[in-house]
Amino acid sequence: MNETVLILDFGAQYNQLIARRVREAQVFCEVVPCDISAEDVRQKHPAAIILSGGPASVFEADAPTMDPAILSLGIPTLGICYGMQLMAYLLHGTVTPAEHREYGRTAMTVVQKTPLFFHVPEVSTVWMSHGDHVLDVPAGFHILAFTPTTHVAAMADPDRNLWAVQYHPEVHHTQSGFRMLQNFLYDIARVPANWKPAAFIPSAVKHIQDAVGGGKALIALSGGVDSAVAAAIAQEAIGSRLTAMLIDNGLMREGEIEEVLTAFPSLDLRVLRRGDIFFRALEGVRDPEAKRKIIGREFIRAFEEGKEDIGSVKVLIQGTVYPDVIESGNQNARTIKSHHNVGGLPKDVGFEIIEPLRWLFKDEVRQVGQALGLPETIVWRQPFPGPGLAVRITGEVTPERAAILRRADAIVRQEIRESGLERSIWQAFAVLLDVQTVGVMGDGRTYGFPVVIRAVESIDGMTADWVRLPYDLLEKIGNRIIGEVPEINRVVYDVTSKPPGTIEWE
């Protein structure tokens, strides 16, 4: 048996959270599409299976389902929410459509103290979000817990090692939720807690060495932590046979390029200055999606041009991280914005593509970066979108406006860093608006641009809450921006979470 847990993806927004929690429990896990066959599951020899939640109802004609034979493989399995309903449905229990959805916190009472509820209080708060519910458990199952509205809040057939919960143990609102997941992993599935992100470095190094052989590899650096860590691993693997390319699109943060150059003193790093070309292509463009597409296109052009000079390279290394992989594998995901990253290069670049970080989450990437000795300025850098400052400038993106925003943004970042909040905040940045407002400074009237400060906390960027920054910190940031950036005469704070807002403004 290997020590991997498979998470079957039924399209829930919380899927990544399940994977995160399993990793936090120091167990390696992989999210796979729900239509994986029982044979493929068997070949992977997972230590346990988790069936995720999902937005569908088992009664819908095109509801996602699974190969029922997976439930007979004898592998410890935990169904969560939709996963539980599907388990009940496939094993001939009774699932009923709900008259109304149950959403939010509720009190759950445990009626059977199985290993799933070790160290869990008899009555605890759980987080529900479901329409259908299980009325009668399938033959062989017991009811383990109930809530005032849900008769079967948890069920199990310990003989077949099948377990299921109607609520979401992975969300923080479920008191003891992490405990329940740990119980499932350690006590029911008997998976040891020994996965650590840094443990994956040697195999990633070897993978790159095998793929590159005696040849050369290329990596596109963006200044972000992901591509920097991928570069560090690749450098460890093949040393001077790695060439890096950094496309300066004129839309990067202050000091970004210099920091990358300092972080990799011995790397063959080629900086392609393409700011003029990007700005020319963006002239007069105001529509956010159009801007994103133009930037994506120009990146590809710059990359194709740059690679001509590099010669015979067969392998391209990309810093794709696990959330990108999960997202792109999910057919149910809707495009809110067309995400572009430097990794978003065309498929037909004529390289073999290696993504050494494709199994890791962002904080795990940071741990790997630290283990590899990358400087803190790189490792703790907050996520930055591929299109750069362009998605933080409403209206037309010009070199002048990018310069204004860059200065304001540098102040925000510096103050956040000095306040010690940089690591706990997912992203803090400035946004430049294309309206003008009246102000007064000295004895004169001003008519300048407002800047928005945005600071959010998030686990994975999928949902986010605005950060309650201390007032004196906001005041300091505001005063400095107005004092130091003459074009700006007003600073406002964004108090929108995601949803309904997105993190970036465009």
The catalytically annotated residue of 130, 133, 168, 340 is 168
The catalytically annotated residue of 3, 170, 256, 364 is 170
Closest approach of ligand XMP to the CB of residue 356, in Å:
17
Would you call 81 a catalytic residue per the annotation? Answer: yes
The residue type found at 41 is: V
> Helix (H, G, I), strand (E, B), or coil: what is residue 393?
strand
Half-sphere exposure of 50 (CA within 13 A, CB side): 36
Q: Which is nearer to ligand XMP, 277 or 462 (CB)?
A: 462
Instruction: Return the bridge partners of 448, or none.
Output: 437
Closest approach of ligand XMP to the CB of residue 269, in Å:
20
Footprint of ligand XMP on this chain (CB under 6 A)? Answer: 337, 339-341, 383, 385-387, 427, 461, 498, 502-504
Q: Which two tokens stand for residue 312?
A: 């015979």
CA Rg value for the chain:
25
CA distance 137 to 89: 9
Q: Which is nearer to ligand XMP, 251 or 482 (CB)?
A: 251
Q: Which is nearer to ligand XMP, 115 or 383 (CB)?
A: 383
Q: Which of 171, 168, 170, 128 is nearest to 148 (CA)?
A: 128
Beta strand spans in 62-111 (E): 77-80, 94-96, 102-110
Q: Which of 345, 333, 340 is nearest to 303 (CA)?
A: 345
Closest approach of ligand XMP to the CB of residue 431, in Å:
11
Instruction: Return the bridge partners of 109, or none.
Output: 123, 146
Q: Which two tokens stand for residue 21?
A: 């929690």
Would you call 168 a catalytic residue per the annotation? Answer: yes
Would you call 170 a catalytic residue per the annotation? Answer: yes
- What is the CA angle 162-164-170, rounded to 5? 125
User: Mutual orientation of helices 201-212 and 225-238 as an angle, nearest 10°?
Assistant: 60
Instruction: Report how far Cα 457 is from the mean position of its chain's Cα atoms.
Output: 13
Q: Which is nearer to ligand XMP, 340 or 406 (CB)?
A: 340
- What is the CA angle 85-89-91, rounded to 5? 120
Residue with the two structure tokens 């750069």: 388
Residue with the two structure tokens 């033959």: 139
The catalytically annotated residue of 3, 29, 34, 81 is 81
| Backbone dihedral angles phi then psi of residue 42, each to the nearest 5 degrees | -60, -40
Q: What is the DSSP letter of 388?
A: G
Closest approach of ligand XMP to the CB of residue 383, in Å:
4
CA distance 313 to 241: 9
Q: Which is nearer to ligand XMP, 282 or 503 (CB)?
A: 503
Q: Which is nearer to ligand XMP, 130 or 406 (CB)?
A: 406
Q: Which is nearer to ligand XMP, 250 or 387 (CB)?
A: 387
Closest approach of ligand XMP to the CB of residue 313, in Å:
23
Q: Which of 362, 325, 358, 329 is nearest to 10 (CA)?
A: 329
Question: Could you write out the three-class secondary structure of 298-327?
Answer: HHHHHHHHHHHCCCCCCEEECCCCHHHHHH
Q: Which is nearer to ligand XMP, 93 or 296 (CB)?
A: 296
Catalytically annotated residues? 81, 168, 170
